[in-house]
Amino acid sequence: MPELPEVETIKRDLEKLVLGLKITQVIIHDVRVIQNQIKGKFEDELKGLTIVKITRRAKAMVIQFNHHRYLVVHLKMTGQMIYGEDLKQTQKLKETKVVFKLSNGKYLNYNDQRLFGRLILTDDLQKVAYLNKLGPEPLEKEFASSWLIATVKELSKRRKTAIKVQLLDQTFIAGIGNIYASEILFDAKVDPQKRLHRLNQDELTRIHRSTVKVLNAAVKQRGTSMRNYRDSAGEKGNFMKTIKVYGRENEGCFNCKSLIQRISQAQRSTFYCAACQR
């Protein structure tokens, strides 16, 4: 499940590989990836465009072309953007849904086992709904502990959401998903079930610090490969060895040895240490 660190890793790698290259051909093997966009139009519009910039916002990667065209890539659960050969041709991969042929003879393969991911081609990023309701980027200056304290104080007046559920809300903070939400709260020693109005200033300061710390460490380790995540070279990330709670139900807490608990919050799994996080 590519979250901020995974998408950032792919973005940084692709920048070194494809900037300045032209799209010479687009082959869409499964139209569900482009939703209601017209297949022929999608292919034609991209053909001949040059990749001039790649950015990331929350969990979305934006490939910017000349002529004011943008391709918004959201990998969701099992999406991959892999650079190299045409995987559909060389490996008969059924997960390869879209292939972009590049002017250097290489390919960009969009793979997606479960088809939750989406590719959106637009001439105006303002038109992409997802991008226009996002909270601050946690690794940018705008995400300050004073901002977090003030915002949670304001939010807690009208909602009593559990902090774990709140961390998954992309309109609150952008880019945190289910793995890192659990990891951040373990690092901050805060109970994921604690509701917003019960969080004090010290706890919020810790959540802020842990968010920056955990996400930076995960970027440095090239992300977490629990299942399908692969970087642009098809390689796994390395953050699994740093994971403290996610996926560790009934295993010992590295801090206090008591068993890691798994609970369900908003139809999603949360992992935590009930002894360390209270």
Partner DNA sequence: CCTAATCCCTGTAAGC
Partner DNA sequence: TGCTTACAGGGATTAG
Active site residues: 2-3, 59, 268
Give the C-alpha separation, 81 to 63, whole Å. 12
Minimum distance from residue 49 beta carbon to DNA (Å):
24
For residues 9 and 49, which CB has a smaller minimum distance to DNA in the complex? 9
Residues 89-118, interacting with DNA (CB under 7 A) = 94, 113-116
| Per CB under 7 A, 194 contacts DNA | no
Checking 241-249 for CB contacts under 8 A at 24+ apart, the result is 242/217, 242/218, 243/179, 243/183, 244/183, 244/186, 244/187, 245/182, 245/183, 245/186, 245/271, 245/272, 245/273, 246/178, 246/179, 246/182, 246/183, 246/271, 247/271
Q: Does 269 bind DNA (CB under 7 A)?
A: yes
Q: Which residues pair with 25 in a beta bridge?
A: 101
Report the site for DNA in 33-72 (rule: CB under 7 A): 58-60
- Contact characters 174-193, DNA, x per CB under 7 A: ---xxx--------------
Nearest Cα neighbor of 181 from 244, 122, 128 is 244
Q: Which of 56, 74, 206, 244 binds DNA (CB under 7 A)?
A: 74
141 vs 158 by CB, closer to DNA = 158
Considering only 68, 159, 220, 278, the residue that binds DNA (CB under 7 A) is: 159
Closest CB 93 distance from DNA, rounded Å? 10
Residues 6+ apart with CB under 8 A from 265: 162, 164, 165, 192, 193
Q: Is residue 32 a contact residue for DNA (CB under 7 A)?
A: yes
Residue 261 binds to DNA (criterion: CB under 7 A) = no
Of residues 158 and 241, the one with the C-beta less far from DNA: 158
| Closest to DNA by CB, 132 or 216 | 132
Q: Mention every residue, 6+ apart, whose C-beta is less than 8 A from residue 89.
A: none
The residue (of 130 and 254) whose beta carbon lies closer to DNA is 130
**Choice from 168, 204, 214, 253 touching DNA (CB under 7 A):** 168
| 151 near DNA, judged by CB under 7 A | no
Which residues would be at the binding site for DNA (CB under 7 A)?
A: 1, 3, 32, 58-60, 74, 76-77, 94, 113-116, 129-130, 158-159, 161, 165, 168, 170, 177-179, 266-269
